[in-house]
Structure 1
Amino acid sequence: MKDPTHESKAFRLLTVIDVHTRKSLAIHLQRKLKSDDVLAALTQLFQRHGPPDHIRSDDGAEFTSHAVREWLGRIRVKMLFVEPDSTWENGYYESFKGKRRDELLNEEISPP
């Protein structure tokens, strides 16, 4: 997810949610997200919680990279992709994203 700061610089949020428990497992904020960032976040989560049967994500470049797909294949975690413009396929995440935006990201910054 790309969002601008008050300086118009973009940042990305890598959000990992367990859809079974509806618990947010991780939120990583960076100016740019690369496949190495995804691998580091997932490695940390898998060490803490164990690898899941599958991961559902959008088709962002950081998830569709060869490195991520190959690594997940080696540890037998399936990748499921949400079709572009099909937010209904990932309803809980879309709801979470909207609430996060309302509660955290839509705040106004007062000029100095």
Structure 2
Amino acid sequence: MSDALFNSRRFRTLNIIDDYNREAIWMEIGLSIGAMHMTDLLKWIVKERGKPKAIRTDNGPEFTSSTFTNWCHKHRIEIRYIQPGKPVQNAFIERFNRSYRTEVLDARIFNNLIEVREITAEWLTQYNNERPHESLGNLSPMQYLLKKENSPKQDSIIEFPPFQQNFSTSTTE
């Protein structure tokens, strides 16, 4: 997703959530988030959290690039592309993006990326640790995970948002 700073400079966010407990695993904020940068983030996430069974995303250029597809193939991670124009197939991230847009991006005017990152980090902590989710029995993602820690975890699927807008500093979003 994208927004603009006070000076009209566009920036992007790459939001990564886990289907299992709706946890926002990572939110990358920058002027440009290309396939190589995104793949480096995924390497770090896999190292820290383990490998997902699949990654669900749209058909944006970062996700159809050989950098991304080769990395997924090498690590035996299935890529699940949604059909164009079918955001309901990526419902969890769409709902997450709507909350983030309403509660953070539309609620403030940011002067720089540092401000965006700081406010986002605060919001993310609240989202993961305190915010109840009806689909999780009114528990936060972390509460749900702790409750289920003695239960076998299903294979996780990482979701990415659809890319829909054009930017001068990056590829189509």
**Fold equivalence (TM over 0.5):** yes
Which amino acid letter does the alignment assign opposite residue 64 of structure 1? T
Q: Does 1:33 align with 2:40?
A: no
Name the SS of the counterpart of 2:27 in structure 1: strand
Q: Number of aligned residue pairs: give it.
A: 110
Q: Which runs of 5+ in 2 are unaligned?
A: 110-173
Cα distance in structure 1, aligned partners of 2:78 and 2:28: 22
State the alpha-carbon separation in 2 of the partners of residues 6 and 36 from structure 1: 28
Question: SS in structure 1 opposite 2:79?
Answer: strand
Letter in 2 for 1:21: N
| Helix, strand or coil at the partner of 1:16 | strand
Q: In the alignment, residue 101 of structure 2 is paired with which amino acid? A: R
In structure 1, what is the Cα distance between the partners aligned to 2:8 and 2:69?
32
Equivalent-residue separation in structure 1 for 2:108 and 2:77 (angstroms): 40
Q: Greater strand percent: which structure?
A: 1
1:35 and 1:108 map into 2 onto residues whose CA distance is 29
Alpha-carbon distance, 1:3 to partner: 1.8
After the TM superposition, list the runs of 4 or more consecutive aligned residues in structure 1 that deviate by more than 4 angstroms: none
Structure 1 partner of 2:81? 81
Deviation (angstroms), 1:21: 1.0
Q: 2:19 corresponds to which residue? A: 19
The higher radius of gyration belongs to: 2
Instruction: Extract unaligned runs of 5+ from structure 1.
Output: none
RMSD: 1.4
Between the aligned residues of both structures, percent identity stands at 28
User: In the aligned structure 1, how far is the partner of 2:84 from the partner of 2:16?
Assistant: 19
Mapped to 1, the partners of 2:36 and 2:76 lie a distance apart of 19
Deviation at 1:6, TM superposition (A): 2.0
The TM-score with structure 1 as length reference comes to 0.91
Name the amino acid aligned to 2:99. Answer: K
**Structure 1 residues 1-112: aligned runs within 5 Å:** 1-109=1-109
Larger relative contact order, structure 1 or 2 (CA cutoff 8 Å, min sep 6): 2
Structure 1 position 2, deviation (Å): 2.3
